[in-house]
Amino acid sequence: MSLADWLLAKRNLKTSNSFNTQDIKIPEGIWVKCDKCGLLMYYKALNRNLKVCPQCNHHFPTSSQERIIQLIDHDTWQPINDKLASNDPLGFADQKLYGKRLKDMKDKTGLQDAVQTGLGSIGHMPVAIGIMDFRFMGGSMGSVVGEKLTRMIEVATKKKIPAIILCASGGARMQEGLLSLMQMAKVSSALQKHNREGLLYLPILTSPTTGGVTASFAMLGDLIIAEPKALIAFAGRRVIEQTIKEDLPDNFQTSEYLFAHGFIDLIVSRTDLKNKLVQILSLHSRTIV
């Protein structure tokens, strides 16, 4: 083929309508783009890496059910109080009735409320664990969340096993008013009794952990662990800056900033979390023997 014929064929290929990229249908959920670095990933590959970007280590949101699979030894999960659900004690209404909002969240997530609690093993060591789920009303802490966590801690104290809470929350649930704020003291009281028995408590702070959760059980651990780049705060940036009349650093509510200032003890990637928990639990079990 001469150079002229090759150039003509190439031009015809470019102008041909036999291959139209607009006609290609890519199924949803096959590819996902990292919000931080822009890496385009096969969704199943991202799931295999526990929803952590392999290029920049960005931690994607994950559900409580996925957390159970990631952390708890296979076939050892036993849910506690999984039927416990809120019943709108105040008859609260904003843009939507609170009772209707709860029903919508239950239908959407398959959960009864914003936390799952249960017993299981991590590295063949028994634990009691509560896993908050941000999908359910922003992981907000209502009376059911507080009650389930309190009962879980009481079971851990009775069985003399470590307690773990994975925190993911926007704070107290405004639709339950004072009843929500009371959960801060209730859960903290249960943790105090757990501590008196010399038992281990590990809070794991994921993004976001804010409000009344940060102000109570998220900061009461023997070791406070956080995921990288997690948003951890009590109040929002604007509220704090308006209160103290000062500008704050861009990263002041991140895991890294809090670690540098002594608020948390460890920053652990999700991909390493189970191995790190096995190390901590094993060390603690040797200490109390």
Q: Is the pLDDT of residue 21 over 50?
A: no
- Omega cis (within 30) before 27: no
Are 127 and 161 in contact, with CB atoms under 8 Å apart? yes
Asked if residue 167 belongs to a known ligand binding site, the reply is no
- Omega cis (within 30) before 228: no
Tell which residue, 128, 127, 129, 217, has the closest CA to residue 169: 217
Q: At what angle do helices 270-288 and 64-71 cross, to 10 degrees?
A: 60
C-alpha 132/C-alpha 95 separation (Å) is 25
Residue 279: how many CB atoms within 10 A of its CB? 12
Query: pTM for the whole thing?
Result: 0.88
Are 126 and 159 in contact, with CB atoms under 8 Å apart? yes
CATH code: domain 62-288 is: 3.90.226.10
Domain boundaries of the chain, sorted by first residue: 23-60, 62-288
Structure tokens belonging to residue 94: 């904003």
pLDDT digits (tens, 9 = 90+) for 126-180: 999 999 999 999 999 999 999 999 999 999 999 999 999 999 999 999 999 999 9
**What integer is the mean pLDDT of 77-95?**
92
Listing from the earlier edge strand, what are the strands of the sheet with 78-79? 78-79, 115-122, 125-132, 163-169, 201-209, 225-226, 266-267
Residue 239: how many CB atoms within 10 A of its CB? 11
pLDDT digits (tens, 9 = 90+) for 186-235: 999 999 999 999 999 999 999 999 999 999 999 999 999 999 999 999 99
Residue 53: how many CB atoms within 10 A of its CB? 20
Are β-strands 163-169 and 78-79 bridged in parallel, bridged antiparallel, or unpaired?
unpaired
Structure tokens belonging to residue 186: 């209730």
Residue 148: is it exposed, middle or buried by C-beta count within 10 angstroms (0-12/13-18/19+)?
buried
In sequence order, the 6+-apart residues with CB closer than 8 A to the CB of 206 are: 59, 166, 167, 168, 226, 227, 230
